[in-house]
Amino acid sequence: MHENRIRRRKTPRQIFAAPIFIALLSLVGLLAALLGNGVFDWVSWVGLAVPVLMVGWAMKARRR
């Protein structure tokens, strides 16, 4: 807990920056494949891979 107490309280902007970024990329991914094929499909795969990759990243880098 000491570690947490020393740290300053985060603002809502700091708390939600990463989640909003991930949500926007997910939405771009959800829509891209609906709007076209080829490059649009790739945008879609990358966009929706972001939430999955973030989980993998947190399990490696943010485990305490």
Partner 1 sequence: MQQSTLRAWSAVHKWTSLICTAFILMLCLTGLPLIFHDEIDAALDDSEWQPANPDGPLLSLDRMLDAALANRPDHVPLFMSFDTDRPVVNVTSGPTPDASDGEMHFASFDRTSGELVPGHHEGGVMDFILRLHTDMFLGLPGMLFLGAMGFLLFIAIVSGVVLYAPFMRKLDFGTLRTERSKRLKWLDYHNLLGVVTVAWLTVVGLTGVVNTLSTPIVDTWRTQALADLTEGYRDAPVPTPAEMASLDRAVAQAEAAAPDMTLQFVAFPGGGWSTDHHFAIFLHGNTSLTEHIITPALVDARSGEFADMREMPWYNKTLSLSGPLHFGDYGGLPLKILWAVLDVITIVVLITGLYLWVARRRANPATARDGVPIPTQTAGSKP
The encoded tokens of residue 13 equal: 């902007």
The amino acid present at 25, given as its one-letter code, is L
Which residues of the chain form contacts with partner 1 (CB under 8 A)? 1, 4-5, 7, 9-10, 12, 15-19, 22-24, 26-27, 30, 32-37, 40-41, 44-45, 48-49, 51-52, 54-55, 57-59, 61-64
**Distance between CA atoms of 55 and 61, rounded to whole angstroms?**
10
Residue with tokens 């945008």: 43
